[in-house]
């Protein structure tokens, strides 16, 4: 038997003390506590976060997105190891509300981030399972704060480029990187979804072997096109670069770009302005989530909903009237 304290016996001070010492077991448990949806854990989680908050905020938060298979995990392995060699402490988080995708990624990531995951200076936490994108991101934001309190100074947040994920991750990071591959048809996808418009850098991965020339010319073409777009971050020209995550080439170069970005935006005040804006947005997101939850969990709403849904389907009631009716049910004392 280990001499460790049982999970249920951990007190608030055990959690905060452990996180501040970067005890990885406690760090993991703290995140589990925060991710828990039991009301009892929720209150404890609140208290722990409150104590950790003064120690959070001192990191560079980097979002990494791209189509499945673009090489995000391989890139994080490469960049993460490079950063650790340079003296940084790196935490890797994922935002992925779809459980089936997550399962696949975690299995793959065990091998794709093998070197990184063995490093003591690194902490890897997969996406919280289950729940909506809103729920997942609320937990991820709080996990960011916990990791910062534990002393991680670079946060890498990976999200697969499907649906709404990218915009959500953009709203919690300082720098947003779009990973692409040349000639895979995903250029169009990204343009269509407006992801390029919210990126601070485009990185054409797999610039190796027979693919190298295509990657270089794709990057040049993108950089030209980007000059005509409004930049994602005021005062910063988004450009396209190349790398080979597999061979570790182009990694120091992209880190230099990210450092330049940090310096430029800190000097211009954009860095702090974005963080402040994100904090305000976060408040409203929490309120919206809460309101939605209490609406759909309201017993009277639950009872009225199926009937009204049927009326809508039968064209017996206008959607606007149906919404008013449900809101009245919810608002009534």
Ligand X SMILES: Nc1nc2c(ncn2[C@@H]2O[C@H](COP(=O)(O)OP(=O)(O)OP(=O)(O)O)[C@@H](O)[C@H]2O)c(=O)[nH]1
Which residues bind to ligand X, rule: CB under 6 A? Answer: 66, 68-74, 105, 108, 112, 160, 205-206, 208, 244-246
Q: How far is the CB of 121 from ligand X (least distance, A)?
A: 21
Using CA atoms, how far apart are residues 93 and 34, in angstroms rounded to an integer?
Answer: 14
Q: Is 302 helix (H, G, I), strand (E, B) or coil?
A: helix
Using rule CB under 5 A, residue 94 touches Mg ion: no
- Nearer residue to Mg ion within complex by CB, 16 or 127: 127
- Nearer residue to ligand X within complex by CB, 205 or 233: 205
- Residue 171 binding partner per list Mg ion, ligand X, none, with a CB distance cut-off of 5 to 8 Å that depends on partner kind: none
Q: How far is the CB of 243 from ligand X (least distance, A)?
A: 7
Number of residues that bind Mg ion (CB under 5 A): 3
- Residue 151 binding partner per list Mg ion, ligand X, none, with a CB distance cut-off of 5 to 8 Å that depends on partner kind: none
Q: Residue 61 class from Cβ within 10 Å (0-12 exposed, 13-18 middle, 19+ buried)? A: buried
- Nearer residue to ligand X within complex by CB, 208 or 289: 208
Using CA atoms, how far apart are residues 323 and 317, in angstroms rounded to an integer?
Answer: 10
Using CA atoms, how far apart are residues 258 and 63, in angstroms rounded to an integer?
Answer: 11
- Nearer residue to Mg ion within complex by CB, 73 or 140: 73
DSSP string covering 210-239? GGHHHHHHHHHHHHHHHTTSPPSSTT---E
Q: Which residue is nearest to Mg ion (CB)?
A: 73
Using rule CB under 5 A, residue 73 touches Mg ion: yes
The residues that touch Mg ion, with contacts defined as CB under 5 A, are 72-73, 105
């Amino acid at each position: 038997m280990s001499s460790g304290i049982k999970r249920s016996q951990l007190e608030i001070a055990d959690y905060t003390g452990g996180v501040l010492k970067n005890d990885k077991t406690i760090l993991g448990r703290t995140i589990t506590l925060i991710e828990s949806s039991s009301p009892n854990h929720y209150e404890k989680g609140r208290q722990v976060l409150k104590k950790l908050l003064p120690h959070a905020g001192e990191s560079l938060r980097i979002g990494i997105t791209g189509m499945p298979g673009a090489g995000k995990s391989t890139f994080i392995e490469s960049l993460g190891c490079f950063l650790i060699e340079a003296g940084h402490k790196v935490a890797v988080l994922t935002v992925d509300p779809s459980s089936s995708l997550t399962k696949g990624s975690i299995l793959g990531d065990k091998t794709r981030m093998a070197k990184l995951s063995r490093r003591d200076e690194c902490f890897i936490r997969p996406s919280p399972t289950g729940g909506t994108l809103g729920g997942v991101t609320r937990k991820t934001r709080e996990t960011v704060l916990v990791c910062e309190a534990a002393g991680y100074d670079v946060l890498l947040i990976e999200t697969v480029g499907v649906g709404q994920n990218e915009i959500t991750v953009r709203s919690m990071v300082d720098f947003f990187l779009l990973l692409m591959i040349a000639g895979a048809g995903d250029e169009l996808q990204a343009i269509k979804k407006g992801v390029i418009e919210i990126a601070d850098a485009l990185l054409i991965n797999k610039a190796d072997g027979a693919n190298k020339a295509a990657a270089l010319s794709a990057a040049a073409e993108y950089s030209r096109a980007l000059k005509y777009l409004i930049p994602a971050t005021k005062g910063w020209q988004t450009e396209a670069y190349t790398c080979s995550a597999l061979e570790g080439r182009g990694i120091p170069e992209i880190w230099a770009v990210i450092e330049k970005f940090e310096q430029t935006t800190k000097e211009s005040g954009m860095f702090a302005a974005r963080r402040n804006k994100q904090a305000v947005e976060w408040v409203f997101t929490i309120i919206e989530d809460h309101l939605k939850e209490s609406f759909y969990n309201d017993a009277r709403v639950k009872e009225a909903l199926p009937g009204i849904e049927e009326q809508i389907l039968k064209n017996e009631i206008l959607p606007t009237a149906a919404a008013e009716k449900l809101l009245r049910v919810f608002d009534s004392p």
